Amino acid sequence: MDSRIAKAFSDIALDSCLSFGEGDRLRIQAEPPHRTLVHEIAAGAWDRGAREVRVDWGDSRLSRIYFDKAKEDRFDEAPTWVGNDGKMFVDEGWCVISLKGDEDPAALDGVAPGRLQRHQRSRALALGPYRDAIMSNKIPWTVLPVATEAWAKAVFTASGRPLVGDPETALWEVLVPILRLDRPDPAAALRKHSEELAARAKRLSELHLAEVHFTGPGTDLRIGLSPRSRWGGAGATTPEGRFFLPNHPTEEIFTSPDNRLAEGRVACTRPVKVLGETVLGGWFEFHEGRVVASGAKKGAATLARYLDVDPGASRLGEVAIVDSFGPIWTSGFVFDNILLDENASCHIALGSAYVDVFEGADAMNAEERAAAGYNEALVHTDFMIGSPEVDVEGTRLDGTIIKILEGGKFVA
């Protein structure tokens, strides 16, 4: 990739997304095709006075061998080092960069879903403190997309676009403006965008909404909010006051609702990977906050299996509002990558709630959280439900109706 873009990517990741500085420890999660950017980020971290830099390489093809070959009982217990490493990252306050861009998007296609479910559950249990630290922003973390050849081919094919020249370069040409790396000062552009999202979230919080209502093709869903629900957008802050951006790009404002208060039906507007399988045309029906029916054009059985991972997997931990006229949706591409697709449209998440947008949750015990409607789960998966055909209204405590999105566009 272009060296200028690689440098801008690294600077954004370290400075704008992590506020990385002298004495910090950095964990980078990546796949082999990300090597060029991993080297650039590592060099930037050392230049900024890093105490340690650790790279954890993922390999989806090696994972496929494991899922196909390992004995059945291997999926029910995570190795000791998984939990030990997670505890170390939390105790020592590591910063985390996760680079997302599959070396082989189809590597896990056809894997026995039961094996994936059991693996995910055992790892989630072992990584409980680490997952809690991520969800409650105790350590700074960020996720960014990286173009790869195979992922690029899948994106162009799924989006009905012709492949010309080098697919990876072509995908970078799509991603660069989405990441605002084409601006004269990318950091300033990202800072301005983050401030706009934060201001929008503040306006919604000040409305003290009791409910948000999504309507559109196949969708008529009411989601009840807690008096503790607060809207967040773009940035987050550690307990020590350190600012970071969990996702880049980000176009959402979001909150954690009352997990007992969702009623109606909702249709998914983009595919999403669930337990390694791409689910297409998904839908859910909610009653008293819980998914009571679900289906999909493709992947219905896997979707049902996900909902059975634990009790919290069938309830909402997040609702997010995204303007469908943002750069990701208007690019016209379907990325089959949750980081990008969740920031293309409104979405809901089945699974864990976020502490920082549920006032007081960090001071509650498990029983108090449950009584307040805060969702606890081993998983958290976003499902896209927005489009230019979806409207969103909010109901205030006094019954006043406020239009939030009209024709997919923010009007609040």
21 lies in some domain: yes
Concatenated DSSP letters of 393-407: EEEETTS-EEEEEET
Out of 113, 143, 178, a domain closes at 178
Q: What pLDDT is recorded for position 351?
A: 97
Out of 144, 178, 212, a domain closes at 178
* C-alpha–C-alpha distance, residues 83 and 87, integer Å: 6
CB 312 within 8 A of CB 272: no
Q: What pLDDT is recorded for position 1?
A: 75
Q: What pLDDT is recorded for position 234?
A: 81
- Statement: residue 196 has pLDDT above 80: yes
Strands 95-100 and 141-145: parallel
Total number of domains in the chain? 2
Residues 146 and 220 in one domain: no
Residues 218 and 89 in one domain: no
87 lies in some domain: yes
Give 33-84 pLDDT, tens digit per residue: 999 999 999 999 999 999 999 999 999 999 999 999 999 999 999 999 999 9
Q: What pLDDT is recorded for position 165?
A: 85
Residues 253 and 305 in one domain: yes
Residues 108 and 28 in one domain: yes
Q: What pLDDT is recorded for position 158?
A: 86
Residue 133, H or E segment: helix 128-135
189 lies in some domain: no
Q: What pLDDT is recorded for position 107?
A: 92
* C-alpha–C-alpha distance, residues 262 and 318, integer Å: 12
Give 98-112 pLDDT, tens digit per residue: 999 999 999 998 898
80 lies in some domain: yes
24 lies in some domain: yes
Q: What pLDDT is recorded for position 153?
A: 95
pTM of the predicted model, to two decimals? 0.89
How would residue 134 be classed by pLDDT, with cut points 50, 70 and 90? very high
Q: Is the torsion defined by CA of 165, 171, 172, 177 positive or negative?
A: positive
CB 37 within 8 A of CB 99: yes
Q: What pLDDT is recorded for position 113?
A: 83
Residues 205 and 354 in one domain: yes
- Statement: residue 329 has pLDDT above 90: yes
The mean per-residue pLDDT over the stretch 124-142 comes to 93
CB atoms within 10 A of CB 65: 11
Residues 285 and 333 in one domain: yes
The mean per-residue pLDDT over the stretch 284-298 comes to 98
In angstroms, how far is the first alpha carbon of the chain from the final one? 40
The mean per-residue pLDDT over the stretch 381-389 comes to 96
Out of 145, 178, 211, a domain closes at 178
183 lies in some domain: no
Residues 291 and 387 in one domain: yes
166 is in which domain, residue-wise? Answer: 3-178
The mean per-residue pLDDT over the stretch 329-346 comes to 93
- Statement: residue 312 has pLDDT above 90: yes
The mean per-residue pLDDT over the stretch 321-348 comes to 93
How would residue 163 be classed by pLDDT, with cut points 50, 70 and 90? confident
Q: What pLDDT is recorded for position 197?
A: 94
CB 365 within 8 A of CB 330: no
The count of residues in the chain is 412
φ, ψ of residue 327 in degrees (nearest 5): -65, -25
Residue whose pair of structure tokens reads 């591409």 in the numeric block: 333
Q: What pLDDT is recorded for position 135?
A: 87
Residue 320, H or E segment: strand 316-322
Smallest Cα–Cα separation from 109: which of 56, 67, 57? 67
Residues 20 and 67 in one domain: yes
Q: In a 3-state reduction of DSSP, which class is residue 273?
A: strand
Identify the DSSP state of 280.
B
Give 208-235 pLDDT, tens digit per residue: 999 999 999 999 999 999 999 999 998 8
Residues 127 and 245 in one domain: no
115 lies in some domain: yes
100 lies in some domain: yes
Residues 247 and 328 in one domain: yes
Residues 355 and 233 in one domain: yes
Concatenated DSSP letters of 10-49: HHIIIIIIT---TT-EEEEEE-GGGHHHHHHHHHHHHHTT
Residues 28 and 86 in one domain: yes
Domain containing residue 128: CATH number:
3.40.1830.10
